[in-house]
Amino acid sequence: MDPVSIIIWLVIGAIAGWLAGQVMRGAGFGLVGNIIVGILGAVLGAVIFSALGFGFSGFIGDIIGSFLGACILLFLISLVKRA
């Protein structure tokens, strides 16, 4: 993986994590936390949406898929925290 790809992953992760933190009643998790939530959300979103037969392409598509996955991740985390 080249350095440009890594930087793009980090940018997408930061954007998706920040957006998910805003939507899911959070104030975000700081830059590193947002990147982690966004990247984990991208992986989760890719697994879920590919299993459902959906795919996202391009930079905006990657952000949308990562955002949706990050929202699902934050929802699952909130369920665990309540238990």
Instruction: Flag whether 2 is in a domain.
Output: no
Which amino acid, residue 47?
V
Reported pTM: 0.85
26: left (phi over 0), alpha (psi -120 to 50) or beta: beta
Give the CA count within 13 Å in the CB-facing half-sphere of 24: 23
Q: How many domains does the chain have?
A: 1
Structural domain range at position 72: 15-82
Instruction: Flag whether 78 is in a domain.
Output: yes
Instruction: Flag whether 45 is in a domain.
Output: yes
Q: Closest Cα to residue 43, out of 24, 4, 17?
A: 17
Rounded to whole angstroms, the Cα distance separating 70 from 83 reads 20
Rounded to whole angstroms, the Cα distance separating 25 from 51 reads 28
Instruction: Flag whether 65 is in a domain.
Output: yes
Q: What is the pLDDT along the chain (83 residues), one digit of tens a residue?
A: 789 988 988 889 889 988 998 888 765 677 888 888 889 998 998 889 889 998 888 889 889 999 999 999 988 888 887 76
